Amino acid sequence: MLKIGSHVSFSDKGLISATAEATSYGSSSFMIYTGAPQNTRRKPIESMNIEEGKAAMLQAGIDEIVVHAPYIINLGSYKSNTYQLAVDFLQEEIRRTHALGVRNIVLHPGAFTDKDAEFGVARIAEGLNEVLNGTDETDVCIALETMAGKGTEIGRSFEEIAQIIEKVQHNDRLTICMDTCHIHDAGYDIVNDLDGVLRKFDDLIGLKRIEVVHINDSKNPAGAQKDRHTPIGSGWLGFDTINRVVHHEALQGRPFILETPWVGKDAKTQRPMYEVEIALLRGDVEERFGGTFMSEVEQLGAFFAKQDIDPRSYVLDTWSLLKNDAKAKKADPREPMERLYDMAAEAGLFPEHTEEQINQRLIGWFASAR
């Protein structure tokens, strides 16, 4: 079965609540932070309800999950206190990951800030050596994430990641988390040449090191170095590209994790599109949502066709407008999905449906359009 899921929260009930949330989306895997990703505050391992959570996972048929390290870890920093905090806290997170029985902890490699890329690569490798040597009692692997190239972050090219791996002594405990939005934003053309990109990765690093895949669409064109995720089909990658990644024979067996943003006009009622994204990528949308779902998607498509709206052209044209025309963006900053939702809602297409349900059908329309 395709291992596909999403980032889920890790609340007071620990692994139990995380499993329940993942199951509600139809996930067969999921990713957690063991606490808030922006700070180092963590509850004792004993309060994580690990055994009960593992029992819930077993019942749900989930046999592999992923931990993500907090964003505050920066092994690339030249500042000794920042660097040492990163080393010490990453070691602690690895021990928590081990206690959960999880193999991979995903890590943003780090940023060189006021130095240069050469310094950043060397500093990150130094930190990884210290972290791995200090946690040799575990078998947890650090999955270095491919980055978009925002600011001074390292990992924006396959070459930089390969250089880090080469400098690490125990690099058998280094794996890779490949992020579709990130490599697209870094300039790798997975829309038109996915096979070529994977071959290049294999030549420089080795596909066998990929153990996690983040599947996200992007708000920006290739090479933008922005790192701004959007729901599947509503960005520059498009549903077909993400679908090819998920079903590519060279990537099978890995957990595919969604980190797409929640959508909705009211922040209090915003919801993720995880459930419909997972169902569409898995190919069981009618089983999940009922037999009328696709007929309503067709109804939505017929409505937009009468207005000469093609989903891919509309999405890309809207993002281009928002990026290149400051006056137009100021006058109407709505993103493509929000504009399309407003059209459908104003036309009264599905008066019985919630905003979330209409947005789910928009995602279905993106996926069905060829």
Known binding-site residues for Zn(2+) equal 68, 108, 145, 179, 182, 214, 227, 229, 259
* CA count, 13 A, side-chain hemisphere, 170: 17
Known binding-site positions? 68, 108, 145, 179, 182, 214, 227, 229, 259
DSSP 11-38: -TTTHHHHHHHHHHTT-SEEEE-SS-TT
Q: Which of 162, 172, 160, 174 is nearest to 203 (CA)?
A: 162
For tokens 């029992």, the residue is 55
Distance, in Å, from the CA atom of 201 to the CA atom of 187, rounded to the nearest integer, reads 13
DSSP 234-282: SSSSHHHHHHHHHT-GGGTTSPEEE-PPPB-SSTTT-B--HHHHHHHHH
The one-letter amino acid code at 232 reads I
Judged by DSSP in three states, 324 sits in helix
For tokens 């928590």, the residue is 96
Bridge pairing between strands 210-215 and 153-154: unpaired
